[in-house]
Amino acid sequence: MIIELQKLLAGIINTLEEEVGPDVAPGKARAQFYSCLDLLNNLAAKLDWNRSLLSTEIAGVEDTLRLTLPLVEKVAGSRRGGGAEFSTLASNIAGVLAEEAADGELFARRVRLNEVLEEAIARINAPGAEDGLDEDGREAIEQAAATLREHLRNQTLRDAMYLKPMMLGKISQG
Amino acid sequence: MIEQLRAFLESKLEGAEDLVVSDLVRHTEGFSLETFSFEAVWNVGGEQHSQRYVARREPPAGLLEPYDLEPQFRTLAAIADTPVRFPRVFWYESDPAVLGAPFYVMEWVGGDVPIPALDAQGNSPFGDEGERLSLGRDFAAILADIHQVDWKAKGLDFLGVPRDGRDAAERVVDFWHGYAERSRLAPMPMMTEAFCWLRRNLPSEAPVALLHGDYRTGNFLARDGRITAFLDWELVHLGDPMEDIGWASCRLWRGDSSYVGYLLSREEFSDWYQAAGGFEFDRARIHFYEVLACVKMAAIMLTGVKAWDDGRTKDMRMGFFDQQVAGMYASIAEILGIIELP
Protein backbone atom coordinates (compact mmCIF):
# COMPACT_ATOMS: atom_id res chain seq x y z
CA MET A 1 0.00 0.00 0.00
CA ILE A 2 2.60 2.53 -1.12
CA ILE A 3 0.70 4.11 -4.02
CA GLU A 4 -2.74 5.62 -3.45
CA LEU A 5 -5.43 3.19 -4.53
CA GLN A 6 -7.05 5.35 -7.22
CA LYS A 7 -3.67 5.98 -8.85
CA LEU A 8 -2.81 2.30 -8.67
CA LEU A 9 -6.09 1.27 -10.27
CA ALA A 10 -5.80 3.92 -12.99
CA GLY A 11 -2.34 2.56 -13.82
CA ILE A 12 -3.55 -1.05 -13.90
CA ILE A 13 -6.40 -0.11 -16.23
CA ASN A 14 -4.05 1.87 -18.44
CA THR A 15 -1.55 -0.98 -18.66
CA LEU A 16 -4.29 -3.49 -19.45
CA GLU A 17 -5.76 -1.28 -22.18
CA GLU A 18 -2.52 -0.28 -23.87
CA GLU A 19 -0.05 -3.08 -23.17
CA VAL A 20 -2.21 -6.18 -22.88
CA GLY A 21 -5.43 -5.59 -24.83
CA PRO A 22 -3.81 -5.41 -28.29
CA ASP A 23 -2.21 -8.84 -27.73
CA VAL A 24 -5.32 -10.63 -26.48
CA ALA A 25 -6.55 -13.03 -29.13
CA PRO A 26 -9.94 -12.20 -30.69
CA GLY A 27 -12.81 -14.36 -29.54
CA LYS A 28 -13.65 -15.62 -26.09
CA ALA A 29 -10.48 -14.36 -24.39
CA ARG A 30 -10.90 -10.82 -25.77
CA ALA A 31 -14.57 -10.70 -24.77
CA GLN A 32 -13.67 -11.78 -21.24
CA PHE A 33 -10.76 -9.34 -21.12
CA TYR A 34 -12.84 -6.29 -22.04
CA SER A 35 -15.65 -7.35 -19.71
CA CYS A 36 -13.16 -7.45 -16.84
CA LEU A 37 -11.73 -4.10 -17.91
CA ASP A 38 -15.18 -2.52 -18.07
CA LEU A 39 -15.98 -3.79 -14.59
CA LEU A 40 -12.64 -2.60 -13.22
CA ASN A 41 -13.21 0.86 -14.76
CA ASN A 42 -16.54 1.16 -13.00
CA LEU A 43 -15.39 -0.30 -9.70
CA ALA A 44 -12.33 1.89 -9.47
CA ALA A 45 -14.24 5.07 -8.63
CA LYS A 46 -16.05 3.29 -5.80
CA LEU A 47 -13.09 1.62 -4.06
CA ASP A 48 -10.79 2.71 -1.27
CA TRP A 49 -8.16 0.97 0.86
CA ASN A 50 -9.76 -1.22 3.50
CA ARG A 51 -10.58 1.16 6.40
CA SER A 52 -10.20 -1.59 8.96
CA LEU A 53 -6.64 -2.35 7.79
CA LEU A 54 -5.67 1.33 7.83
CA SER A 55 -7.32 1.92 11.22
CA THR A 56 -5.57 -1.08 12.78
CA GLU A 57 -2.19 0.11 11.50
CA ILE A 58 -2.86 3.68 12.65
CA ALA A 59 -3.87 2.51 16.13
CA GLY A 60 -0.73 0.35 16.27
CA VAL A 61 1.57 3.27 15.42
CA GLU A 62 -0.24 5.60 17.80
CA ASP A 63 0.06 3.11 20.68
CA THR A 64 3.75 2.60 19.91
CA LEU A 65 4.47 6.32 19.80
CA ARG A 66 2.55 6.86 23.08
CA LEU A 67 4.75 4.23 24.74
CA THR A 68 7.89 5.65 23.14
CA LEU A 69 7.30 9.31 24.02
CA PRO A 70 8.13 9.19 27.77
CA LEU A 71 11.19 7.07 27.01
CA VAL A 72 12.43 9.58 24.45
CA GLU A 73 11.83 12.41 26.92
CA LYS A 74 13.89 10.51 29.49
CA VAL A 75 16.69 10.06 26.95
CA ALA A 76 16.58 13.77 26.09
CA GLY A 77 16.91 14.66 29.76
CA SER A 78 19.74 12.27 30.48
CA ARG A 79 22.10 13.19 27.71
CA ARG A 80 25.24 14.95 28.84
CA GLY A 81 25.95 18.00 26.76
CA GLY A 82 22.33 18.29 25.69
CA GLY A 83 19.88 16.02 23.94
CA ALA A 84 18.43 18.47 21.44
CA GLU A 85 17.77 15.87 18.76
CA PHE A 86 15.80 13.73 21.21
CA SER A 87 13.88 16.79 22.43
CA THR A 88 12.93 17.50 18.82
CA LEU A 89 11.88 13.88 18.36
CA ALA A 90 9.76 14.02 21.53
CA SER A 91 8.12 17.19 20.27
CA ASN A 92 7.39 15.60 16.89
CA ILE A 93 5.88 12.51 18.51
CA ALA A 94 3.70 14.64 20.79
CA GLY A 95 2.70 16.76 17.82
CA VAL A 96 1.59 13.89 15.60
CA LEU A 97 -0.29 12.24 18.45
CA ALA A 98 -2.19 15.48 19.05
CA GLU A 99 -3.32 15.67 15.42
CA GLU A 100 -6.67 14.24 14.50
CA ALA A 101 -7.42 12.57 11.20
CA ALA A 102 -10.27 14.09 9.26
CA ASP A 103 -12.83 11.66 7.89
CA GLY A 104 -11.61 10.12 4.66
CA GLU A 105 -7.98 10.93 5.35
CA LEU A 106 -6.90 7.68 6.91
CA PHE A 107 -4.29 7.03 4.23
CA ALA A 108 -2.70 10.45 4.83
CA ARG A 109 -2.86 9.94 8.61
CA ARG A 110 -1.09 6.58 8.22
CA VAL A 111 1.68 8.23 6.18
CA ARG A 112 2.13 11.06 8.69
CA LEU A 113 2.34 8.69 11.66
CA ASN A 114 4.78 6.40 9.90
CA GLU A 115 6.99 9.39 9.07
CA VAL A 116 7.39 10.11 12.77
CA LEU A 117 7.75 6.41 13.59
CA GLU A 118 10.57 6.20 11.04
CA GLU A 119 12.20 9.31 12.51
CA ALA A 120 12.10 7.64 15.93
CA ILE A 121 13.67 4.44 14.58
CA ALA A 122 16.42 6.41 12.84
CA ARG A 123 17.21 8.51 15.92
CA ILE A 124 17.03 5.76 18.53
CA ASN A 125 18.95 3.14 16.53
CA ALA A 126 21.56 5.48 15.04
CA PRO A 127 25.13 4.32 15.70
CA GLY A 128 26.32 6.11 18.84
CA ALA A 129 22.82 7.16 19.93
CA GLU A 130 23.49 5.79 23.42
CA ASP A 131 26.81 7.65 23.76
CA GLY A 132 26.81 10.22 26.54
CA LEU A 133 23.72 8.82 28.27
CA ASP A 134 23.58 8.00 31.96
CA GLU A 135 22.32 4.60 33.11
CA ASP A 136 18.65 5.66 33.14
CA GLY A 137 19.02 7.09 29.67
CA ARG A 138 20.62 3.90 28.36
CA GLU A 139 17.83 1.85 29.83
CA ALA A 140 15.24 4.17 28.30
CA ILE A 141 16.79 4.07 24.83
CA GLU A 142 16.95 0.26 24.93
CA GLN A 143 13.28 0.12 25.94
CA ALA A 144 12.36 2.55 23.19
CA ALA A 145 14.23 0.47 20.58
CA ALA A 146 12.46 -2.68 21.82
CA THR A 147 9.07 -0.96 21.69
CA LEU A 148 9.64 0.11 18.10
CA ARG A 149 10.79 -3.36 17.12
CA GLU A 150 7.69 -4.85 18.71
CA HIS A 151 5.57 -2.60 16.51
CA LEU A 152 7.55 -3.60 13.40
CA ARG A 153 6.97 -7.23 14.36
CA ASN A 154 3.22 -6.79 14.79
CA GLN A 155 2.76 -4.72 11.62
CA THR A 156 4.89 -7.09 9.53
CA LEU A 157 2.82 -10.06 10.67
CA ARG A 158 -0.43 -8.16 9.94
CA ASP A 159 0.80 -7.24 6.44
CA ALA A 160 1.97 -10.80 5.81
CA MET A 161 -1.51 -12.16 6.61
CA TYR A 162 -2.90 -10.37 3.57
CA LEU A 163 -0.02 -11.08 1.19
CA LYS A 164 -0.54 -13.71 -1.48
CA PRO A 165 2.52 -15.71 -2.62
CA MET A 166 4.51 -13.87 -5.28
CA MET A 167 3.99 -15.35 -8.75
CA LEU A 168 7.65 -14.77 -9.59
CA GLY A 169 8.03 -17.91 -11.67
CA LYS A 170 5.08 -17.12 -13.93
CA ILE A 171 6.01 -13.45 -14.17
CA SER A 172 9.64 -14.23 -15.02
CA GLN A 173 8.84 -16.95 -17.53
CA GLY A 174 6.12 -14.94 -19.26
CA MET B 1 15.47 -2.54 -35.70
CA ILE B 2 16.92 -5.15 -38.06
CA GLU B 3 18.22 -2.42 -40.36
CA GLN B 4 19.82 -0.50 -37.47
CA LEU B 5 21.54 -3.67 -36.28
CA ARG B 6 22.68 -4.47 -39.79
CA ALA B 7 24.18 -0.99 -40.23
CA PHE B 8 25.86 -1.22 -36.84
CA LEU B 9 27.42 -4.61 -37.57
CA GLU B 10 28.54 -3.45 -40.98
CA SER B 11 30.50 -0.66 -39.31
CA LYS B 12 32.15 -3.15 -36.93
CA LEU B 13 32.88 -6.24 -39.02
CA GLU B 14 35.91 -5.39 -41.06
CA GLY B 15 35.56 -6.19 -44.74
CA ALA B 16 32.04 -7.56 -44.33
CA GLU B 17 29.97 -7.67 -47.52
CA ASP B 18 26.39 -8.73 -48.22
CA LEU B 19 25.59 -8.56 -44.51
CA VAL B 20 22.13 -9.89 -43.64
CA VAL B 21 20.52 -9.73 -40.19
CA SER B 22 17.55 -12.01 -39.54
CA ASP B 23 15.59 -13.97 -36.93
CA LEU B 24 15.38 -11.09 -34.46
CA VAL B 25 13.92 -12.33 -31.16
CA ARG B 26 13.03 -10.17 -28.17
CA HIS B 27 13.60 -12.12 -24.94
CA THR B 28 11.22 -11.54 -22.05
CA GLU B 29 13.30 -13.15 -19.28
CA GLY B 30 14.70 -10.71 -16.78
CA PHE B 31 13.39 -7.47 -15.35
CA SER B 32 16.22 -5.22 -16.35
CA LEU B 33 18.06 -4.78 -19.67
CA GLU B 34 16.19 -5.29 -22.94
CA THR B 35 17.60 -8.36 -24.66
CA PHE B 36 17.44 -9.19 -28.37
CA SER B 37 19.08 -12.07 -30.19
CA PHE B 38 19.60 -12.17 -33.95
CA GLU B 39 21.40 -14.04 -36.69
CA ALA B 40 24.00 -12.33 -38.86
CA VAL B 41 25.44 -13.73 -42.12
CA TRP B 42 28.13 -11.98 -44.15
CA ASN B 43 30.94 -12.54 -46.63
CA VAL B 44 34.58 -11.61 -46.35
CA GLY B 45 36.56 -12.05 -49.53
CA GLY B 46 34.04 -14.54 -50.84
CA GLU B 47 34.02 -16.63 -47.67
CA GLN B 48 30.72 -16.82 -45.81
CA HIS B 49 30.59 -16.20 -42.07
CA SER B 50 27.66 -16.39 -39.68
CA GLN B 51 27.10 -15.82 -36.01
CA ARG B 52 24.20 -15.45 -33.63
CA TYR B 53 24.54 -12.35 -31.45
CA VAL B 54 22.74 -10.83 -28.48
CA ALA B 55 22.18 -7.10 -28.07
CA ARG B 56 21.52 -5.80 -24.56
CA ARG B 57 20.00 -2.33 -24.45
CA GLU B 58 19.26 0.10 -21.61
CA PRO B 59 15.53 0.15 -20.89
CA PRO B 60 13.58 3.43 -20.53
CA ALA B 61 12.93 2.51 -16.89
CA GLY B 62 13.91 -0.49 -14.84
CA LEU B 63 14.74 -2.05 -11.52
CA LEU B 64 18.45 -1.19 -11.67
CA GLU B 65 18.23 2.36 -13.00
CA PRO B 66 19.99 4.61 -13.67
CA TYR B 67 21.78 2.39 -16.17
CA ASP B 68 25.37 2.63 -17.30
CA LEU B 69 26.41 -0.36 -19.40
CA GLU B 70 29.98 0.75 -19.90
CA PRO B 71 31.48 -0.57 -16.59
CA GLN B 72 30.07 -4.06 -17.13
CA PHE B 73 31.16 -4.08 -20.77
CA ARG B 74 34.70 -2.97 -19.86
CA THR B 75 34.86 -5.55 -17.07
CA LEU B 76 33.68 -8.41 -19.25
CA ALA B 77 36.06 -7.40 -22.01
CA ALA B 78 38.93 -7.31 -19.49
CA ILE B 79 38.25 -10.79 -18.04
CA ALA B 80 37.65 -12.53 -21.37
CA ASP B 81 40.73 -14.72 -20.93
CA THR B 82 39.78 -16.02 -17.46
CA PRO B 83 37.93 -19.29 -16.75
CA VAL B 84 34.78 -17.35 -15.77
CA ARG B 85 31.83 -18.52 -17.87
CA PHE B 86 29.95 -15.62 -19.45
CA PRO B 87 29.04 -14.56 -22.99
CA ARG B 88 32.02 -12.85 -24.62
CA VAL B 89 31.30 -9.21 -25.43
CA PHE B 90 32.20 -7.52 -28.73
CA TRP B 91 31.09 -3.90 -28.97
CA TYR B 92 29.62 -1.19 -26.75
CA GLU B 93 27.70 1.74 -28.24
CA SER B 94 26.94 4.72 -26.03
CA ASP B 95 25.24 6.81 -28.75
CA PRO B 96 21.46 6.48 -28.20
CA ALA B 97 20.89 7.49 -31.83
CA VAL B 98 22.10 4.10 -33.07
CA LEU B 99 19.50 1.86 -31.42
CA GLY B 100 17.38 4.19 -29.29
CA ALA B 101 19.51 3.75 -26.16
CA PRO B 102 23.06 2.64 -25.28
CA PHE B 103 23.68 -1.07 -25.81
CA TYR B 104 26.36 -3.69 -26.21
CA VAL B 105 26.61 -6.77 -28.37
CA MET B 106 27.77 -10.15 -27.08
CA GLU B 107 27.91 -13.72 -28.29
CA TRP B 108 24.78 -15.85 -28.10
CA VAL B 109 25.14 -18.77 -25.69
CA GLY B 110 22.67 -21.64 -25.72
CA GLY B 111 20.74 -22.80 -22.69
CA ASP B 112 17.68 -22.19 -20.56
CA VAL B 113 17.33 -19.81 -17.63
CA PRO B 114 16.06 -21.83 -14.63
CA ILE B 115 13.90 -19.75 -12.27
CA PRO B 116 13.89 -20.60 -8.55
CA ALA B 117 10.23 -21.59 -8.54
CA LEU B 118 8.01 -24.48 -9.57
CA ASP B 119 6.86 -24.24 -13.18
CA ALA B 120 3.21 -24.04 -14.32
CA GLN B 121 2.91 -27.83 -14.03
CA GLY B 122 4.36 -27.85 -10.51
CA ASN B 123 7.74 -29.25 -11.55
CA SER B 124 11.04 -28.26 -9.98
CA PRO B 125 13.28 -26.06 -12.18
CA PHE B 126 15.91 -28.82 -12.02
CA GLY B 127 15.11 -32.22 -13.46
CA ASP B 128 16.53 -34.52 -10.82
CA GLU B 129 19.00 -34.73 -7.96
CA GLY B 130 21.86 -35.34 -10.38
CA GLU B 131 21.12 -32.17 -12.30
CA ARG B 132 20.78 -30.17 -9.09
CA LEU B 133 24.16 -31.39 -7.84
CA SER B 134 25.87 -30.82 -11.16
CA LEU B 135 24.50 -27.28 -11.54
CA GLY B 136 25.19 -26.62 -7.86
CA ARG B 137 28.86 -27.52 -8.27
CA ASP B 138 29.11 -25.20 -11.29
CA PHE B 139 27.28 -22.45 -9.38
CA ALA B 140 29.82 -22.61 -6.53
CA ALA B 141 32.86 -23.03 -8.78
CA ILE B 142 32.03 -20.19 -11.18
CA LEU B 143 31.62 -17.83 -8.23
CA ALA B 144 35.05 -18.90 -6.98
CA ASP B 145 36.43 -18.20 -10.48
CA ILE B 146 34.98 -14.69 -10.45
CA HIS B 147 36.36 -13.99 -6.98
CA GLN B 148 39.83 -15.19 -8.02
CA VAL B 149 40.13 -12.76 -10.92
CA ASP B 150 43.25 -10.64 -10.43
CA TRP B 151 41.35 -7.36 -10.73
CA LYS B 152 44.47 -5.23 -10.30
CA ALA B 153 46.24 -6.97 -13.18
CA LYS B 154 43.09 -6.68 -15.29
CA GLY B 155 42.94 -2.93 -14.70
CA LEU B 156 39.55 -2.96 -13.02
CA ASP B 157 40.35 -0.09 -10.64
CA PHE B 158 37.79 2.01 -12.53
CA LEU B 159 35.10 0.07 -10.66
CA GLY B 160 36.17 1.88 -7.48
CA VAL B 161 38.61 0.32 -5.03
CA PRO B 162 37.55 -0.01 -1.38
CA ARG B 163 40.33 0.65 1.15
CA ASP B 164 39.45 -2.45 3.19
CA GLY B 165 36.56 -4.69 4.22
CA ARG B 166 34.88 -2.03 6.34
CA ASP B 167 35.10 0.54 3.55
CA ALA B 168 33.71 -2.05 1.11
CA ALA B 169 30.74 -2.67 3.41
CA GLU B 170 30.17 1.02 4.03
CA ARG B 171 30.21 1.75 0.30
CA VAL B 172 27.50 -0.81 -0.50
CA VAL B 173 25.37 0.24 2.47
CA ASP B 174 25.64 3.87 1.32
CA PHE B 175 24.87 2.87 -2.26
CA TRP B 176 21.70 0.92 -1.42
CA HIS B 177 20.60 3.47 1.17
CA GLY B 178 20.81 6.16 -1.49
CA TYR B 179 19.05 3.87 -3.93
CA ALA B 180 16.15 3.32 -1.56
CA GLU B 181 15.93 7.04 -0.77
CA ARG B 182 15.73 7.95 -4.46
CA SER B 183 12.66 5.73 -4.70
CA ARG B 184 10.98 6.96 -1.57
CA LEU B 185 7.23 7.36 -2.04
CA ALA B 186 6.20 6.69 1.55
CA PRO B 187 7.79 6.16 4.99
CA MET B 188 10.01 3.07 5.19
CA PRO B 189 10.30 2.16 8.90
CA MET B 190 11.58 -1.39 8.25
CA MET B 191 14.25 -0.16 5.83
CA THR B 192 15.41 2.41 8.36
CA GLU B 193 15.59 -0.23 11.11
CA ALA B 194 17.71 -2.38 8.78
CA PHE B 195 20.03 0.42 7.66
CA CYS B 196 20.66 1.34 11.31
CA TRP B 197 21.49 -2.32 12.03
CA LEU B 198 23.85 -2.46 9.05
CA ARG B 199 25.68 0.70 10.10
CA ARG B 200 26.05 -0.65 13.64
CA ASN B 201 27.38 -4.00 12.43
CA LEU B 202 29.83 -3.13 9.66
CA PRO B 203 32.45 -5.89 9.32
CA SER B 204 36.01 -4.74 9.82
CA GLU B 205 38.34 -7.04 7.92
CA ALA B 206 37.73 -8.62 4.56
CA PRO B 207 39.57 -9.22 1.30
CA VAL B 208 38.59 -7.19 -1.76
CA ALA B 209 37.61 -9.19 -4.84
CA LEU B 210 35.76 -8.80 -8.12
CA LEU B 211 32.04 -9.36 -7.40
CA HIS B 212 29.28 -10.21 -9.84
CA GLY B 213 26.80 -8.25 -7.72
CA ASP B 214 23.70 -10.21 -8.81
CA TYR B 215 24.91 -13.81 -8.52
CA ARG B 216 21.84 -16.02 -8.17
CA THR B 217 19.63 -18.63 -9.74
CA GLY B 218 17.73 -16.87 -12.52
CA ASN B 219 20.87 -15.20 -13.86
CA PHE B 220 22.57 -18.16 -15.52
CA LEU B 221 22.05 -20.26 -18.61
CA ALA B 222 22.01 -24.03 -18.17
CA ARG B 223 22.16 -26.90 -20.64
CA ASP B 224 22.58 -30.64 -20.05
CA GLY B 225 23.15 -30.17 -16.36
CA ARG B 226 25.91 -27.60 -16.74
CA ILE B 227 25.95 -23.83 -16.39
CA THR B 228 26.91 -22.49 -19.80
CA ALA B 229 27.18 -18.80 -18.87
CA PHE B 230 26.52 -16.32 -16.10
CA LEU B 231 24.52 -13.29 -17.23
CA ASP B 232 23.40 -9.89 -15.92
CA TRP B 233 26.57 -8.15 -14.76
CA GLU B 234 24.94 -4.74 -14.21
CA LEU B 235 26.00 -4.64 -10.55
CA VAL B 236 29.62 -5.76 -11.02
CA HIS B 237 31.96 -4.05 -8.55
CA LEU B 238 34.84 -4.63 -6.15
CA GLY B 239 34.06 -5.65 -2.60
CA ASP B 240 33.92 -8.36 0.04
CA PRO B 241 33.39 -11.79 -1.59
CA MET B 242 30.92 -12.66 1.19
CA GLU B 243 28.61 -10.04 -0.39
CA ASP B 244 27.97 -12.28 -3.42
CA ILE B 245 27.51 -15.29 -1.11
CA GLY B 246 25.01 -13.41 1.06
CA TRP B 247 23.05 -12.29 -2.01
CA ALA B 248 23.03 -15.77 -3.56
CA SER B 249 21.76 -17.16 -0.24
CA CYS B 250 18.86 -14.68 0.01
CA ARG B 251 15.49 -16.28 0.90
CA LEU B 252 13.90 -14.91 -2.28
CA TRP B 253 16.09 -17.15 -4.47
CA ARG B 254 15.34 -20.22 -2.35
CA GLY B 255 11.74 -20.29 -3.51
CA ASP B 256 9.86 -23.05 -1.73
CA SER B 257 13.02 -25.13 -1.25
CA SER B 258 15.51 -25.10 1.61
CA TYR B 259 18.43 -24.82 -0.81
CA VAL B 260 20.51 -21.75 -1.63
CA GLY B 261 19.17 -20.63 -5.00
CA TYR B 262 16.99 -23.78 -5.14
CA LEU B 263 20.27 -25.55 -5.89
CA LEU B 264 22.56 -26.44 -3.04
CA SER B 265 22.74 -26.66 0.73
CA ARG B 266 24.85 -24.12 2.60
CA GLU B 267 27.38 -26.86 3.36
CA GLU B 268 27.62 -27.86 -0.30
CA PHE B 269 27.95 -24.20 -1.30
CA SER B 270 30.77 -23.65 1.18
CA ASP B 271 32.58 -26.92 0.39
CA TRP B 272 32.40 -26.63 -3.39
CA TYR B 273 33.19 -22.92 -3.50
CA GLN B 274 36.28 -23.39 -1.34
CA ALA B 275 37.32 -26.53 -3.23
CA ALA B 276 37.31 -24.40 -6.38
CA GLY B 277 39.68 -21.91 -4.78
CA GLY B 278 37.18 -19.53 -3.20
CA PHE B 279 37.64 -17.64 0.04
CA GLU B 280 36.84 -19.09 3.46
CA PHE B 281 33.18 -18.68 4.39
CA ASP B 282 32.80 -16.21 7.25
CA ARG B 283 29.42 -16.70 8.93
CA ALA B 284 29.29 -13.27 10.57
CA ARG B 285 30.08 -11.44 7.33
CA ILE B 286 27.69 -13.63 5.35
CA HIS B 287 24.95 -12.77 7.85
CA PHE B 288 25.74 -9.06 7.45
CA TYR B 289 25.49 -9.38 3.67
CA GLU B 290 22.32 -11.47 3.89
CA VAL B 291 20.72 -8.57 5.78
CA LEU B 292 22.04 -6.24 3.08
CA ALA B 293 20.66 -8.61 0.41
CA CYS B 294 17.12 -8.30 1.78
CA VAL B 295 17.45 -4.52 2.02
CA LYS B 296 18.91 -4.34 -1.50
CA MET B 297 16.06 -6.42 -2.93
CA ALA B 298 13.50 -4.22 -1.19
CA ALA B 299 15.27 -1.12 -2.59
CA ILE B 300 15.16 -2.66 -6.08
CA MET B 301 11.44 -3.37 -5.71
CA LEU B 302 10.83 0.21 -4.52
CA THR B 303 12.68 1.46 -7.61
CA GLY B 304 10.22 -0.47 -9.78
CA VAL B 305 7.27 0.97 -7.89
CA LYS B 306 8.65 4.50 -8.27
CA ALA B 307 9.28 4.09 -12.02
CA TRP B 308 5.71 2.83 -12.44
CA ASP B 309 4.25 5.54 -10.19
CA ASP B 310 6.15 8.21 -12.15
CA GLY B 311 4.54 6.91 -15.34
CA ARG B 312 7.97 6.17 -16.89
CA THR B 313 6.86 2.60 -17.54
CA LYS B 314 3.54 0.82 -17.93
CA ASP B 315 5.21 -2.50 -17.18
CA MET B 316 3.12 -4.09 -14.43
CA ARG B 317 6.17 -6.18 -13.49
CA MET B 318 7.33 -2.95 -11.83
CA GLY B 319 3.94 -1.94 -10.41
CA PHE B 320 3.18 -5.27 -8.75
CA PHE B 321 5.94 -4.67 -6.23
CA ASP B 322 3.62 -2.08 -4.60
CA GLN B 323 2.13 -4.98 -2.66
CA GLN B 324 4.95 -7.53 -2.82
CA VAL B 325 7.52 -5.31 -1.13
CA ALA B 326 5.68 -6.18 2.11
CA GLY B 327 6.99 -9.73 1.68
CA MET B 328 10.53 -8.39 1.39
CA TYR B 329 10.02 -6.35 4.57
CA ALA B 330 8.99 -9.64 6.23
CA SER B 331 12.27 -11.19 5.03
CA ILE B 332 14.17 -8.25 6.53
CA ALA B 333 12.28 -8.72 9.81
CA GLU B 334 13.12 -12.42 9.76
CA ILE B 335 16.82 -11.99 9.17
CA LEU B 336 17.00 -9.30 11.85
CA GLY B 337 15.32 -11.71 14.29
CA ILE B 338 12.18 -9.59 14.63
CA ILE B 339 9.85 -12.33 13.39
CA GLU B 340 10.09 -16.01 12.55
CA LEU B 341 8.85 -17.14 9.16
CA PRO B 342 7.86 -20.74 8.37
Among residues B233, B279, B227, the alpha carbon closest in space to that of B30 is found at B233
Instruction: Measure A78 CA to nearest chain B CA, in Å.
Output: 22
- Within chain A, what is the greatest distance between any pair of CA atoms? 76
Tens digits of residue pLDDT in A147-170: 999 999 999 999 988 888 777 777
Q: Which amino acid is at B93?
A: E
Measured between beta carbons, which residues in chain B are less than 8 angstroms from residue A2?
A: 185-186, 302, 305, 309, 322, 325
- Domain A51-161 maps to which CATH number in 1.10.730, 1.10.150, 1.10.760, 1.20.120? 1.20.120
Asked whether the beta carbons of residue A156 and residue B305 sit closer than 8 angstroms, the reply is no
* Mean per-residue pLDDT pooled into runs of 10, chain A (174 residues): 85 89 90 91 85 92 98 89 85 94 81 97 95 91 97 95 78 69
In tens digits, what is the pLDDT along chain B, a chain of 342 residues? Answer: 889 999 999 999 988 889 999 999 988 666 778 899 999 999 998 899 999 999 999 988 888 888 899 999 999 999 999 999 999 999 999 999 999 999 999 999 999 888 887 776 777 778 788 999 999 999 999 999 999 999 999 999 999 999 999 999 999 999 999 999 999 999 999 999 999 999 999 998 899 999 999 999 999 999 999 999 999 999 999 999 999 999 999 988 887 788 999 999 999 999 999 999 999 999 999 999 999 999 999 999 999 999 988 888 888 888 888 888 999 999 999 999 999 877
As a whole number of angstroms, the distance between CA A168 and CA B290 comes to 20
Domain B129-335 CATH (choose: 2.60.40.10, 3.40.1190.10, 3.90.1200.10, 3.30.360.10): 3.90.1200.10
Q: How far apart are CA A169 and CA B122, in angstroms?
A: 11
Which residue in chain A has the smallest CA separation from B192? A122
| Residue-level pLDDT at A4 | 83
Burial of A11 (0-12, 13-18, 19+ CB in 10 A): buried
Distance of CA B266 to the CA centre of its chain: 20
Residues 240-299 on B with a CB inside 8 Å of A are: 252, 255
Q: How far is A4 from chain B (nearest CA, A)?
A: 10
Residue A103 confidence (pLDDT):
64
Q: Which residues does A172 contact at the CB level (< 8 Å), separation at least 6? A: B29, B30, B31, B115, B117, B218
- The residue in chain A having the minimum alpha-carbon distance to the alpha carbon of residue B329 is A156
Going by DSSP bridges, is the β-strand pair B47-57/B237-239 parallel, antiparallel, or unpaired? Answer: unpaired
The residue ranges of every structural domain in chain A are 8-47, 51-161
Whether residue A159 lies within 8 A of chain B, CB to CB, comes out as yes
Q: Does A114 touch chain B (CB under 8 A)?
A: yes
> What whole-number distance in Å separates Cα of residue B273 and Cα of residue B136?
10
Per CATH, the number for B2-107 is: 3.30.200.20
CA-to-CA dists, residue A123 to A127, A129, A147, B150, angstroms: 9, 7, 14, 42
Q: Which residue of A has its CA nearest to B183?
A: A2
Domain ranges of chain B: 2-107, 129-335
The C-alpha angle with vertex B330 and arms to B329 and B335, in degrees rounded to 5, equals 100
CB A149 to CB B339 under 8 A? no
